[in-house]
Amino acid sequence: MKFSKPAGINPIDNQKVVTRPHVRLDGPLKVSGKATYAYEYRGEEQAAYGYVLSAGIAKGTIESMDLSRAEAAPGVLLVLTHENMPEQGKSETPVPQQQKASPQLSGPDVSFYHQAIAFVVAKSFEQARAAANMIEVKYTPAKGHYELDKQLKAAKPDEDSEDSVVGDFEQAFRAAPVKVDLTFSTPDQSQSPMEPQASLASWDGDQLTVYTSHQVVHWVQAGLAATLKIPKKNVRILSPFVGGGFGSKLLFFADIVLASVASRLLGQPVKTALTRPQYYNATSHRPATIQRVRLAADRNGQLLAVGHDTWSGNLPGGEGEPAADQTKLLYAGEHRLIRTRKTELDLPPGASMRAPGEAVGLLALEGAMDELAEALDLDPVKLRIINDVQHDPEKGPQRPFSSRRLVDTLYVGADRFGWDKRQKQPGQVREGEWLIGMGMASAFRANMVQPSGAKVILQPDGTLAVETQMTDIGTGSYTILGQVAAEMLGLPLEQVTVRLGDSDYPQAAGSGGSFGANSSASGVYAACTALRNSISQRLGFAVASTTFEDGAVKCGDQQVPLTEVAGNDGLSAEDTMTWGDLTEQYAQASFGAHFAEVAVNSVTGETRVRRMLSVVAIGRVMNPVTARSQCLGGITMGIGSALMERLEVDPRYGLFINHDLAEYQVPVHADIPDLDVVFLEDLDDKSSPIKAKGMGELGICGVGAAVANAMYNATGVRLRDFPLTLDKVLMGWADQEQRRGKKGAKEEVSTA
């Protein structure tokens, strides 16, 4: 099925199952410990244990490796290095950085700290770990580049992100009566899921089966097959449960490649999991950015010029962080200059982390909008409403938005949050030692779709099974796909079984980019439509006038139970949803508004977020329980990004030194206040037949800026270097005192 024109009325609009607050189908399995994750699988044959030895330098060459003690250690079955690793090919996935990440032990060169340099397999995990630590390695280190701010002169245009040049930005900016020219910086950040990368590999002749933790099954299937130089049909990937990913499991790393190679060489299953320090340094992370935002407006607040320049770094061949992309679409402005630059750094791979681009780009853009509002003496909400635009600002009215309720989210959010109680002058509200402030920011995330297929099977007992490669990374895929199938066949959700994460099932979108739910649900819709049509034809019913409800097929005064239709053998149908050019005809995005209230301690500078509200418009909300959970998770990550998350680069050795959950700070329960989420009705018939849009990443987009703007309202200190830690608040106050002191001294001299 091809989605090439706006969706009309269809069975999803019945909304008897879809849009209802069903709890997660996989919830009981997870809370009871019955959901099996990659490292927990047990095959018929006892698996051996692999342990990855990581490089102790960030850049250079391995001169020698003494394996004698490791190979003679108790229980050791195999030691792999670049000297005995079988020949590998290049990965074939849509993710450019995978080219760097997939060939393992491919030579003596070290490109980043904790790169895999050996793989020890033993009868037990402890034996493998002990033996790996017996390997003696001698290196010849080379000079590397690890700090973004010192490599800006070497930056080049990012080929993955086109510059936006509309009108004459420089002239318009110079001539504008009100303008801001600001620089923001964001640090390297880590996705930090609870489950690290892990794999169990097993061969049966030429057939490889791997249980692994991955977000997109067909990407890892194709990439692993190309790396091992075997046909894709010989590789089966299973990822039925994934313990979080946030982008880090769009790629695959040493665990799956080395376990697969070792399993073939040994003729037995091999399992391995990366350690937490290896996760931080040897998988992927969100690259640091430096961003310059220039906004110019007339005295009424209408934007005249919009400029956003970003810089980030990555390994050679890696992508830059597209932190300026949202600026191309979010606000009006006749003259525009938006550019993305990338430089080479010798840090671990940079790649996708929840809302790549927008999550950090909106920290800068929405911070700049707040400062522009202050320069204009204009309410920040009003400034955003003034600059709303219902079409692509670059391409004009010929490319309207498919749906855009940003202004509605701003009005509803301001009213519900009590924005009218905000004091415009910073530092005016105090509760004891605590200074209280309010801030807000817009939320934006581009809506994307991917081809996605499914198979549906009507069982003899009248129940329905859904099979698709789609993954569930804690997002609710099992539940919403079951809801779509139940709605389409007129069944209660309890009579639908959903099977996910198996490459033997039809290829699906996978989880990433906020395209997962909408795309995979559309794939299930296509398969169910094919099954409905097949059933109607079998019964001789007119397709247009046939309905499915209450476990039966109805046409006019005729009614046939699904159990009778299925017969003894059951019925099945399979289809894939593909996409026309509606994303080209219409700009598509999810929108929202975040409102934050923070308290900053006037003595210590400690910041506490007291409450937050997100109002979002995301098309049809397929399940308010899972959608709310996604939004709450995004808000939590946004708070962490604003106040604490930072990978600390040790420039002497080129590694992230805080490589565990003790030192890489993420929010805990005590950090997270009362959160509220409001969904606005927003059916987008140009997005998909489901009329939904992406949700998973919108929740984080703009949150950090709302927190930062609230901190300024509380303290009078503008911070543009994230995270906004208490030392920066204290330094800001100290600078204010120093400026006041100098001003007072000048006035004293003048008076004398």
Look-up of token digits 């990855």: 52
Active-site annotation holds for 697 = yes
Catalytic pick among 319, 321, 574, 697: 697
d(CA 647, CA 190): 7
SS (H, E, C) 527-546: HHHHHHHHHHHHHCCCHHHE
Kindly give the pairing relationship between strand 235-238 and strand 207-212.
Answer: parallel
Look-up of token digits 């975040």: 594
d(CA 71, CA 518): 50
| Cα–Cα nearest to 222, from 352, 349, 95 | 95
The answer to whether the peptide bond before residue 723 is cis (omega within 30 degrees of 0) is yes
Angle between helices 217-228 and 254-266 (to 10 degrees): 50
Classified as helix, coil or strand, 285 is strand
- CA of 104: how far to CAs of 119, 319, 355, in Å? 10, 20, 28
Per-residue DSSP letter, 401:
B
Q: Are 687 and 693 in contact (CB under 8 A)?
A: yes
d(CA 325, CA 470): 27
Q: Side chain identity at 448, as an amino acid letter?
A: M
Please state the φ and ψ torsions of residue 255, each to the nearest 5 degrees: -60, -50
d(CA 540, CA 205): 48
d(CA 482, CA 462): 15
d(CA 105, CA 595): 49
d(CA 188, CA 612): 25
SS (H, E, C) 488-541: HHCCCHHHEEEECCECCCCCCCCCCCCCHHHHHHHHHHHHHHHHHHHHHHHHCC
**Residues annotated catalytic, as ranges:** 697
